[in-house]
Amino acid sequence: MYTNKKSPVPLWIIFTSGIIAISFSSILVKLSSAPVSVSGMYRLLFTCLMMAPIMWKYIPEIKGLSSHDWFMLTGSGIALGLHFLLWMASLRFTSVASSTVLLTLEPIFVLAGAYFVYRERTTLAAVAGIVLAVSGAMLVGWKDMSVSGDALKGDLLSLLGTAAVAIHMLLGQKLSKHISSLLYSFVVFFVAACCFAVYNVFQGYTFTAYPPKEWILFILLALIPTVFGHILFNWALKFVNAASVSTAVLGEPVGASLLAWMMLGESIQPVQIGACLLLLIGVWVFLRNNRVHYATQQ
């Protein structure tokens, strides 16, 4: 696996913990009846509030950020906000498996973007690993894919959300090389929360009239998939490239589908179990063989 420096914690622990955490995201969204943009706003806002007590340590670093850094941070935050908005909205129209399976196209988008933007190239074995992993992930949710009605709308929203998060990851790869991961996460989450707030104002959604159950779900969305998921993956960008993180996240359809089976009663077929194994093998092959080099500038 390509690394710039050695991680103080084995990356397999980081990736495994992060995948388990983000697998709860779709379940919590499904359980909520609040508008998805409100859930997304409070998810990110509560995450920022949890991080706020330690942000004073980064004041000197904040003062040293350039205008270009702020521009890229804002772009990363907007892309993350779009990802959450589009993907969370997709869960209103399609199944957990169908929505999350389209997110597995993220490493392909990231690999393409990394080549055209950063001129990164990897090995054929790593590409083969991605093909295996994406094939397995698609089989996990293939039975729930639809080409008509609301399900198609949900699938399209999930696909657009995947493109948005790929942009977020590519910007994060660049920024995380010289900005502290917690500071990066805090600023990006805050920008995304502000985008949600503006959207909610224009939609006329209430900010406060929600029952206790919804507030608990907002807090859980901040604590589990965001703090223990997205923040860990942002931190990992200091040690691996965006394609490695995106490929590791392919484990989410496995975790999300298992949780949907246990908590929501969504079915899992034998073919999906085999697909999960194929997916995990593909992720392992990619992470083991990903060796980044840079194409010659034309």
Tens of pLDDT, residues 208-257: 999 999 999 999 999 999 999 888 888 888 888 777 777 777 666 677 76
* pLDDT of res. 297: 39
Is pLDDT of 116 > 70?
yes
DSSP state of 121: E
In a domain, 5, yes or no: no
Q: Is residue 6 part of a domain?
A: no
pLDDT at 153: 75
213 is in which domain, residue-wise? 11-294
What is d(CA 110, CA 244) in angstroms, rounded to the nearest whole number? 9
pLDDT greater than 90 at residue 207: yes
C-beta atoms surrounding 33 within 10 Å: 11
Nearest Cα neighbor of 23 from 208, 261, 189 is 261
Our CA dihedral for 42, 45, 50, 52, rounded to 10 degrees, sits at: -170
Strand partners, 82: none
| Placement of tokens 């939609």 in the chain | 203
pLDDT tops 60 at residue 293 = no
Q: Who has greater pLDDT, 190 or 24?
A: 190
Mean pLDDT to the nearest integer, 144-170: 75
Helix-then-strand count for the chain, H and E:
14, 2
Specify the pTM. 0.76
pLDDT range class, residue 88, cuts 50, 70, 90: confident
Q: Is the pLDDT of residue 141 over 60?
A: no
At residue 75, the pLDDT reads 96
Q: Is pLDDT at 168 greater than 60 in this prediction?
A: yes
Q: Is residue 2 part of a domain?
A: no
β-bridge partners, 44 = none
Average pLDDT for residues 130-134, to the nearest whole number? 77
Is residue 4 in a domain? no
Residue 210 in any domain: the answer is yes
Residue closest to 46 by CA, chosen among 176, 184, 214, 220: 220
Question: Is 187 within a domain?
Answer: yes
User: Given a cut of 90, is residue 78 above it in pLDDT?
Assistant: yes
Q: Which two tokens stand for residue 213?
A: 């159950």
What pLDDT score does 188 carry? 95
The answer to whether residue 3 is domain-embedded is: no
Q: How many separate domains does the chain show?
A: 1
Q: What is the pLDDT of residue 76?
A: 95
